[in-house]
Structure 1
């Protein structure tokens, strides 16, 4: 008889334990700063809900500005094998060809000046865009594409992707490819890891999204604001066939980067260099 009385109580305790376990799992997912989903859940109604929403909106990002919220989940397309396992570091067989690349944009203050200089000299370059910047500056993204430059993926918020779980890397790269495709009509074929920090997840997720990794060989370190003369000197001393130059058109004060481009670009052309962009094979 006592055993019969214990059975309903035991079932109740088991159900309670299962409910507590599920609630704990939900809290862990919501509290995970780098897990997925990365977009905040919609708060419940009332004053508490409004206060929670304000906290979410005011939370600083790892880069700047705000992430885009989307109603529909992103659509990821697999890439056709084979894919590369390391980023490009040189472009052999192109003669005296060099590649100019600009990261972190587009920025409405600096990117237009860089585009003006490139157009003046009829030169094409690569722009590795951050998704949140692309979303907030869509006309600039269209101009970059319409003027024949290559649009690449530089993640959504410029995080250190080696610290993200695989789902986080997928979200950062996938959302950026999606917004670029929405604006330009074509998904990016190239991507560059923020800070040049690559790992297995970064390579594999990028490949699954149909992109090739792209590194660099000459770093202008223009983000340190070393002076226009220093940026020009680094490019001129590093110039060589197959070189990929890294500069920035956003993420800070890039006036020196703009001024430096106006000086070293005509000098490179005068020296017989062909400034071009790589082609997928």
Structure 2
């Protein structure tokens, strides 16, 4: 099915990038990311862990209310999800979708599914598509989760930065102070280079 194809480009086309943030929401880091995005009139896609969204529904609602898009990033962030039974995979995708949607507001739209660790076996993509979620990958990995330093995060992004890039960063899952600082510099750079902010292809 065509809507099970993994997406790597931006919806807006042209000189645009899609910023994506995984593993949140987090009460310390997500508000800082949202504030930076607002300063730059930028939108992003937030790939949330279901229980985190349930724990901090006000953050999930703030993300959606600001015009950003919500993405399902599973219940347990199991990077070997596809090795598990079918029922487990359905649970990881469908239950997280419901948890995130209910946190934003009952019935709120989720646009995408991003498999933890990029574990996008066909069964994963098919389940996501059956639940109305477009599987999205990334083309530009900041590797910010390693906390290699702000300059290294920016170098990692710039190595593959081009129009249509889907940039992978994190607003949850640990200390994201380097991610926030790198994002501030990245947004200044992208503005100066004339980039627009779009979403992954839907």
Give the structure-2-normalised TM-score: 0.93
Shift of residue 92, structure 1, vs aligned partner: 7.5
Q: Which residue number corresponds to residue 84 of structure 1? A: 3
Q: How does 1:1-281 map to 2 (within 5 A)?
A: 82-91=1-10, 94-159=13-78, 160-184=80-104, 185-278=107-200, 280=202
Shift of residue 273, structure 1, vs aligned partner: 0.8
Q: How many residues align?
A: 199
Shift of residue 93, structure 1, vs aligned partner: 6.9
Q: Distance in 1 between matches of 2:33 and 2:150?
A: 14
Q: Distance in 2 between matches of 1:90 and 1:229?
A: 25
Q: Distance in 1 between matches of 2:101 and 2:40?
A: 27
Which SS does the other structure have where 2:188 is aligned?
A: helix
Shift of residue 177, structure 1, vs aligned partner: 0.9
- Checking the alignment, whether the CA contact within 8 Å between 2:10 and 2:164 is kept in structure 1 is yes
- Checking the alignment, whether the CA contact within 8 Å between 1:85 and 1:203 is kept in structure 2 is yes
Larger RCO: 1 or 2 (CA < 8 Å, sep 6+):
2
Q: Distance in 1 between matches of 2:12 and 2:92?
A: 33
Unaligned residue ranges in structure 1 (runs of 5+):
1-81
Which has the larger strand fraction?
A: 2
Q: Distance in 2 between matches of 1:166 and 1:271?
A: 45
> Which one is further off, 89-98 or 199-208?
89-98
Which SS does the other structure have where 2:94 is aligned?
A: helix
Cα distance change on mapping 1:138 and 1:119 into 2, 3 Å: same
Q: Distance in 1 between matches of 2:142 and 2:112?
A: 21
Bigger-Rg structure (1/2): 1
- Deviation string 1:217-260 (CA, Å, 9 cap, x unpaired) is 01011111100111112223322110000011111111100000
Structure 1 segments, 4+ long, off by >4 Å, are: none
Q: RMSD across aligned C-alpha pairs, in angstroms? A: 1.5
Shift of residue 138, structure 1, vs aligned partner: 0.5
Which SS does the other structure have where 1:127 is aligned?
A: strand
Cα distance change on mapping 1:93 and 1:143 into 2, 3 Å: closer
Q: Distance in 2 between matches of 1:216 and 1:279?
A: 11
Which SS does the other structure have where 1:242 is aligned?
A: coil
